[in-house]
Structure 1
Amino acid sequence: MASVLNVSAYLFTQIDDPATLRPALRERAVAARLKGTIILAEEGINLFLAGAAADVRGFLDDLRADERFAALTAKESWSAEQPFARMLVKHKREIIRMDRPTVRPGAGRAPAVAPETLRRWLDQGHDDAGREVVVLDTRNAFEVDYGTFEGALDWRIDRFTQFPAAAEEHGAQLAGKTVVSFCTGGIRCEKAAIHLRESGIDAYQLDGGILGYFAHAGAAHFRGDCFVFDGRESLTPALTPALTPALTPAPAAHGERCEQ
């Protein structure tokens, strides 16, 4: 029986004291018997947590009581076992590393496309203005190999910091088209869409990423499973752990990374 609630969430919001906040959040998470990873930076918060439903939701409610995190929303899935080995809270320069200081989602998001809208666009073969739609996978190559959208562009990057260079190299593929960038839970494609728009590309982010698409649009136009950075390894479009073995080993131990 799936009794462990897993949540992924992130929010770009100004945090002036991430180093001070880190031990306080860890203490609260441990007291709530949670495991997973929280990353804090001046630009915001990024987290994957798992535990009893009441404990996880209570922790998030307490977090939202801080006005900096009031807008935090979480994507939920379930597992029969705890997928994390421990509780980590880290202070980093970015909550998802891109090494592009001008890309600041907290100062203004790129336009987002709802999962239902993307499904309709893919059903009809164009956006509502009749333009060609390109779905762009911003994840690492080994993640893409678990599953992706039909016909998605995959630039075979090994880490997200390579995305800007790949965009410069392959930008001609995107010119004159409606580009929807996507990732696991939304954080990487949010930064990617901003970077692309700064380069003159008509780019949008998939709101909620693949996990949000699974929750609201199901499996339509997606082939395979979605890799996640925890002990479940990958999720099906039903948001349940996949039963198929890994195609390739993850490049870091489960629970050590927090990418969405």
Structure 2
Amino acid sequence: MVPGEAPPAGPVSPRGSAEAVAAKKQRAFARRKAFSQFVKAKEVPAAARCSAGGEGVRWRCCRQAFEELSGIHRHVALQHAGDIGQQAGLAAKQAAAEVSSSSGPALAGSADGLHGCSHGSPEISCVLPDTSHVSYDDLTSKVGEVLLYYCYCEVKDPEKLCAWQKALCQHLHLTGKVRVASEGINGTVGGSKVAANLYIQVMLSQPLFKGILRQEDFKSSAGGAHCFPDLRVGVFKEIVPMGIDPKIVSYKETGIHLSPQEFHREVEQYLSQANQGQSNTILLDCRNFYESKIGHFQGCLAPDIRKFSYFPSYIDENLELFKDKRVLMYCTGGIRCERGSAYLRSKAVCREVYQLKGGIHKYLEEFPDGFYRGKLFVFDDRYAICSNEDIISACRYCGTLWDQYKLCSSQHCRQLVLTCPSCCNKGLTACCPVCQEKELKVTSRASGQTLKEECECTRRRPRVPIERVSQRMLDAGKD
């Protein structure tokens, strides 16, 4: 034998070979089952197909519609292989755990296979709820809810919390997005009413969140698992992407929270003073331009920014605007205001900084016909939810009142476009002339990645707009 060379492998025993074949078959079965369940979760209910006038559409995934089984199968195989593998791996681990524990009693609902999560640090409990009393149909019903929540707290082991959270959502057949970080958790998940209720109860009983997260912190709206293309749970540096290290600008330095009732009174007073040209207050929308375009508070200042990560730069470039002002801030569910108000306070230019607790979601529960007009943009396949009948935005092409977003029809563009049915029928379905005429010419890189031509929407939009004070804001109070 050559020095340093490994000795030849010995013969494989028949038993070892049989076990390897059985394990391979089990993995293949788990993957087929995970694939089938993933496709099933994307099925559009017959009632929804009829009501939307899309009788031929049988599946929706990644904001695409599929009529043929081969189409959805091909899409899932190409785009969601990693998700299928993770689900199959989890199912195989759970099956192995059940087999290994069959000789002795097991704790019902424990999350076996999560790196010893059940026996880990005391601040995170990784127990899954018992669903044996719930029928599969009730747990997977398409008629359900979308939950929006966040909780700022110190998380010593984000990876462990992430693993448990992913197992919990899969156990309850929830879809959506959950961000975990050392500063807390931020989630938007959809599922059946039974699953949503179980999820809330488990979250409230989680030792890590006790005394911090409460029932009223969950904002609920009609929806379900079908509102999201898939489930995405991950560990990030921030639970809301502002682009600044939480150690530099902490949620602990946030502004003063106002209840919906208190915020309503403040806005009422602000509008009254603005009408008389006497206001020393700014009503600041912390969201992105496409959100505020279809719905906002009367008299607000809505920055023309595309991402929340541009918000700090917007503040820096417009500090003079906020000097000696009282600032009332709001966003969708409250989380962006937590970091946004902390950043604004760190500049030490404002007299006071307030924020709407629970965001627009909670305000609309109390004041559905209050000072917020238009739709509330949401980050799922619904795009918007309604509380009043006002339409404050217009079709991008003809200018008629319209507030229902669609994705740009160009295959490689992710911009949203407001185009009314009449313009859609004329083929005007893209976000701008560049997309409409060229449909974003795509060239392939050697690596297989794609380059896309920048569309007019992004090319002409300044990253950080400079506000020219500010008769415009005072005039806005007269809306």
- State the TM-score, normalized to the length of structure 2: 0.48
Superposed CA deviations along residues 213-232 of structure 1, whole A, max 9, x for unmatched, are: 11122232222111110011
Partner SS, residue 157 of structure 1:
coil
Query: For residue 405 of structure 2, what is the amino acid of its counterpart?
Result: A
- The verdict on how the C-alpha distance between 1:177 and 1:248 changes in structure 2, with shifts beyond 3 A counting, is farther
Hey, what's the Cα distance between the residues in 1 that align with 2:311 and 2:249?
13
Superposed CA deviations along residues 153-190 of structure 1, whole A, max 9, x for unmatched, are: 12211111211111121122222222111111111111
- The verdict on how the C-alpha distance between 1:27 and 1:248 changes in structure 2, with shifts beyond 3 A counting, is closer
Alignment of 1:19-98 (within 5 A): 19-70=159-210, 71-72=212-213, 73-79=217-223, 82-98=226-242
> Of 385, 388, 405, which aligns to 1:246?
405
Query: For residue 207 of structure 2, what is the amino acid of its counterpart?
Result: E
Query: For residue 378 of structure 2, what is the amino acid of its counterpart?
Result: V
Hey, what's the Cα distance between the residues in 2 that align with 1:141 and 1:126?
22
- The question of whether the paired residues in 1 share the 8 Å contact of 2:384 and 2:404 is answered with no
> Of 259, 268, 271, which aligns to 1:123?
268
- The question of whether the paired residues in 2 share the 8 Å contact of 1:121 and 1:133 is answered with no
Hey, what's the Cα distance between the residues in 1 that align with 2:300 and 2:369?
15
- The verdict on how the C-alpha distance between 1:167 and 1:247 changes in structure 2, with shifts beyond 3 A counting, is farther
Hey, what's the Cα distance between the residues in 1 that align with 2:380 and 2:361?
14
Hey, what's the Cα distance between the residues in 2 that align with 1:135 and 1:170?
15
Structure 2 gaps of 5+ residues are 1-46, 48-141, 273-277, 389-401, 417-479
Ranked by relative contact order (alpha carbons within 8 Å, sequence separation 6 or more), the top structure is 1
- The verdict on how the C-alpha distance between 1:98 and 1:46 changes in structure 2, with shifts beyond 3 A counting, is same
Query: For residue 290 of structure 2, what is the amino acid of its counterpart?
Result: F
Hey, what's the Cα distance between the residues in 1 that align with 2:224 and 2:182?
35
Aligned to 2:150: 10
Alignment of 1:204-243 (within 5 A): 204-237=354-387
Q: Does 1:174 align with 2:322?
A: yes
Partner SS, residue 125 of structure 1:
helix
Give, in angstroms, the shift of residue 37 of structure 1: 1.0
Structure 1 gaps of 5+ residues are 254-260
Partner SS, residue 154 of structure 1:
coil
Compare the two structures and name the one with the higher strand fraction.
Answer: 1
- The verdict on how the C-alpha distance between 1:56 and 1:23 changes in structure 2, with shifts beyond 3 A counting, is same
- The verdict on how the C-alpha distance between 1:80 and 1:63 changes in structure 2, with shifts beyond 3 A counting, is closer
Query: For residue 114 of structure 1, what is the amino acid of its counterpart?
Result: S
Partner SS, residue 168 of structure 1:
helix
- The question of whether the paired residues in 2 share the 8 Å contact of 1:35 and 1:49 is answered with yes
- The question of whether the paired residues in 1 share the 8 Å contact of 2:191 and 2:224 is answered with no
Q: Does 1:113 align with 2:258?
A: yes
- The verdict on how the C-alpha distance between 1:135 and 1:125 changes in structure 2, with shifts beyond 3 A counting, is closer
Hey, what's the Cα distance between the residues in 2 that align with 1:125 and 1:109?
22
Compare the two structures and name the one with the higher helix fraction.
Answer: 2
- The verdict on how the C-alpha distance between 1:32 and 1:247 changes in structure 2, with shifts beyond 3 A counting, is closer
Query: For residue 404 of structure 2, what is the amino acid of its counterpart?
Result: P
Query: For residue 193 of structure 2, what is the amino acid of its counterpart?
Result: A
Partner SS, residue 210 of structure 1:
helix
Hey, what's the Cα distance between the residues in 2 that align with 1:146 and 1:251?
18
Hey, what's the Cα distance between the residues in 1 that align with 2:176 and 2:255?
28
Alignment length, in residue pairs?
A: 247
Aligned to 1:257: none
Give, in angstroms, the shift of residue 8 of structure 1: 0.1
- The verdict on how the C-alpha distance between 1:244 and 1:80 changes in structure 2, with shifts beyond 3 A counting, is farther
Superposed CA deviations along residues 32-56 of structure 1, whole A, max 9, x for unmatched, are: 1111111101111000011112211
Hey, what's the Cα distance between the residues in 1 that align with 2:293 and 2:160?
39
Hey, what's the Cα distance between the residues in 2 that align with 1:19 and 1:195?
27
